[in-house]
Structure 1
């Protein structure tokens, strides 16, 4: 018996500034694809529930995404791999890892706030990777900026030409529906209780739209249709019409107007992702050679996560399949060690929920259970050897020593610190002088320390005491210069688990002083979270 051909894949990340509605949109997309029966975010006072993609206790308590989460579901004969990413700058490194494992991105823009700093930084990562970006202007049901003003800001700030696929009927805060610029139709939506279920929609022919709005929503709605039609004509005159090649080349960005909370225009977004988002493409290896999607199996590990299930002390290595077919139980080679291991326990992930996977294809994200040798950025393969470019580690700017508060929990402390380091929750730095009992935790942002402390207490039963250090700048030091740098005043050299030596400085002025006095020293800058993520 011949297996049926696999469904076409779409692998997409959702990025934005905090509070723009990423997790809500992720849930809305799953709802419209019939992957869930009711959205997890119910926003009635006192009845808010955590979204499927936000499963950590801190995420539920704060209402923000702290860790990326993968969802996989079918829609219109396609398999969608959707990754909800953290928006907060302190977790930009996690988002950067996700963007190394997807084929395109949906950039969510708050209609009232426009492009915010973190949105711009995340887009810069997309630009560096050449990822096509589709823009969703969210929260159009609330008061906000003018639609044309938002388009001008997108083009001015990120350099992509906006090509709206829909245009709002009504100003921000008065969301009567959208004009579908491809068909000319009016699409109207009906609210549901709390936005927990799909919003019914009706499609009205262009010639009937004005009268329909006048009869069902009043004369002001009819005037809003006239204004939308005028805006559509203006956009066409300016050449702001969608072109697939320009979008795939990351020159233009298709734009949709929506309200994820009310489930308005979510169906249009899903259809657009199926119709326009790119399928998995050949992946360049460390030498720039392309590995075709139909070559031998290979995958890139972009995330390691433990603590998803308190009942099982397992950990999950998320891997993006780059080529070939994955079959559960197959023996694969770990490129870093050249050792083989079995993939007996492989799963697909839907937020926190996991199910076994028998077979997966390029573009899919799988979770390998208890593959403890795998680290972020590792490659696994069968057949022809391959190694994909490693995922960059950002330069930390915040440092603190960690000590266990109960000496009897030392073993749990050591195990927890090692796990957090392997996951990339924080970087763990050590030296002989400090010893293993007081490692230095290094982070891009201070909220990473809160996550680390909470997980050490909740998952490992080893509460820690964190004491801030005055360092703010880190530079990589060659092995043959470690002793020279370590002997300098107000400079400390510590080592990461990957063998890198990092020199820590109080501030940039001290770094510049050392560079002037010792020009022979090589102090290499690491990728900066503020610029790269």
Structure 2
């Protein structure tokens, strides 16, 4: 089936300002990948083709241009890794895209998990030489739980790579997804010549490269039947391509838009983000095939994007995006209604109204005032600790969106200040950063030392760096006498109070005041769970 025919299935909105269907024109997606698969580079190039930036190769440029636009924290720039989700809003070819670049490192997977609650689809980036790696598989499982549509981009075809058929087989067998190639690579590494567009029967070949501009792409609309094909490709390359196409047509199912949107099928694009090849086709595929804003689950019912009343949920809070003002910005995924600046929305948790006077649209760290927003858009709401991850804001009905979790930490450490006189300053700083949802903070009921809970060791380095950079606090970490933590509750309040009283030395409160049991090791946790069978121990806690 050709791309125009597939586009007719997709029925996108007319896009841009003044579009006939502003909801249908929205595409809100995350990019997920194992570290070093090229995720941040792909993000840069999607922004380039979307017209949002004007310098390709900014990741490799010099000076201020060296940093990726999505990696704006100082530690991200120093280490060349993404440790915080960035949001970028841009328009392209009639569609409005909300791109969320997630952390690739597994130590920051909790931020990624919550980000995936705020998107309607995902792009899975694979390194052509490595295929599916551990973190890719974990992130995919989160997508599978939400039946999230996934487009696959196999990156780095300009380097020595695995056989494309082997990569397709691995995706199909490991992830239980039907694979339909949207294009097919011609060669690899130094011999990479471009791709054959399977949807439109065209040849897209590499032309002259330009370091700071889009490279030349030679488009042969008649594919292998084009007279120029013999000039640009060897007889061996043409014969291999014909053989591959025949095998694909015999072995792969046809592209089915509904199967993709239900999370059962993935279109696969081959390319090289570093050299800007295949990125444009991927962006067009996102516009044509990715779903518009989907219904969102709440405790009472599914909330449809076409409902008139405004409703949305906070999936992330970022402290100190503007370090000069010590600001905190809540990232709100709009789920329904037509939001307008200055609206009063009810914070369901507190029951209090909030006037949203200065909502912002994001471009990583940069922001612009948002006069209006539609379902699928991510808007920033500046606040001073009023909004937390998991909060719901509504215009009318009291709703509580579900599925935004806290995870039990795998590392617990005591925080030691170099200057004990700054204890209150440390408390404020830890609470600020805990609001972001990445670091968890526990206050033991006995003792004065704060305990931080984290998923991975790299988070300790990031926490120390941010406390020093953003709060001028020099801290160290000491091993706590605990290995893991569990939130606790019980059907009978008396049983809960009795447990807390008899285990006071192992009890703490999280930043919301919820009771937490701290276990010295897995054996102690198992023993306590069996001994106190009326107490429920939770490795995750729904954000309230």
SS across alignment from 2:330: strand
Are the equivalent residues in 1 in contact too, given 2:223–2:229 (CA < 8 A)? no
Deviations 1:193-240 (A, max 9, x none): 44x4322212113455676354235x3xx4223222222221211243
RMSD: 2.3
Q: CA deviation at 1:365?
A: 0.5
Residue of structure 2 in register with 1:9 after alignment: 26
Residues 17/406 of structure 1: CA separation in 2 closer, same or farther (3 Å cut): same
Residue of structure 2 in register with 1:377 after alignment: 390
User: Could you tell me which of 163, 175, 178 is aligned with 2:195?
Assistant: 178
User: Could you tell me which of 450, 458, 469 is aligned with 2:480?
Assistant: 469
1:513 aligns with 2:527: yes
Residue of structure 2 in register with 1:80 after alignment: 97
Structure 2: how far apart are the matches of 1:399 and 1:42? 35
Residues 197/361 of structure 1: CA separation in 2 closer, same or farther (3 Å cut): same
Structure 2: how far apart are the matches of 1:324 and 1:177? 43
SS across alignment from 1:73: strand
Mean CA deviation greater in 232-241 or 285-294: 285-294
If the length of structure 2 is used for normalisation, what is the TM-score? 0.90
Residue of structure 2 in register with 1:531 after alignment: none
1:489-508 superposed matches below 5 A = 492-508=506-522
Residue of structure 2 in register with 1:452 after alignment: 463
SS across alignment from 1:127: helix
User: Could you tell me which of 294, 299, 308 is aligned with 2:312?
Assistant: 299
Structure 2: how far apart are the matches of 1:378 and 1:456? 26
Structure 1: how far apart are the matches of 2:331 and 2:512? 20
Structure 1: how far apart are the matches of 2:223 and 2:429? 65
Are the equivalent residues in 2 in contact too, given 1:284–1:291 (CA < 8 A)? no
1:361 aligns with 2:374: yes
Q: CA deviation at 1:432?
A: 2.8
Are the equivalent residues in 2 in contact too, given 1:27–1:39 (CA < 8 A)? yes
Q: CA deviation at 1:376?
A: 0.5
1:110-149 superposed matches below 5 A = 110-149=127-166
Are the equivalent residues in 1 in contact too, given 2:487–2:540 (CA < 8 A)? no
Structure 2: how far apart are the matches of 1:380 and 1:255? 37
Q: CA deviation at 1:477?
A: 1.9
Q: CA deviation at 1:279?
A: 0.3
Deviations 1:420-462 (A, max 9, x none): 1111131001123123xx2100011121222211111111112
1:350 aligns with 2:363: yes
Name the count of aligned residue pairs.
519
Residues 55/227 of structure 1: CA separation in 2 closer, same or farther (3 Å cut): same
SS across alignment from 2:444: coil
SS across alignment from 2:535: coil
User: Could you tell me which of 187, 195, 201 is aligned with 2:217?
Assistant: 201
Q: CA deviation at 1:299?
A: 0.9
Structure 1: how far apart are the matches of 2:63 and 2:350? 51
Q: CA deviation at 1:416?
A: 0.5
Structure 1: how far apart are the matches of 2:223 and 2:128? 29
User: Could you tell me which of 280, 288, 293 is aligned with 2:301?
Assistant: 288
Deviations 1:373-423 (A, max 9, x none): 111111101023322115110111100111322133333212101101111
SS across alignment from 2:228: helix
Residue of structure 1 in register with 2:496 after alignment: 481
Are the equivalent residues in 2 in contact too, given 1:41–1:48 (CA < 8 A)? yes
Are the equivalent residues in 2 in contact too, given 1:11–1:82 (CA < 8 A)? yes
Q: CA deviation at 1:295?
A: 2.5
Deviations 1:229-268 (A, max 9, x none): 2222212112432111110111110000010111001110
SS across alignment from 1:135: strand
Deviations 1:305-352 (A, max 9, x none): 012222222111001100001111111100111100111111111011
Residue of structure 2 in register with 1:91 after alignment: 108
Structure 2: how far apart are the matches of 1:36 and 1:370? 29
Residues 508/432 of structure 1: CA separation in 2 closer, same or farther (3 Å cut): closer
Residue of structure 2 in register with 1:335 after alignment: 348
User: Could you tell me which of 402, 415, 423 is aligned with 2:436?
Assistant: 423
Structure 2: how far apart are the matches of 1:306 and 1:229? 54
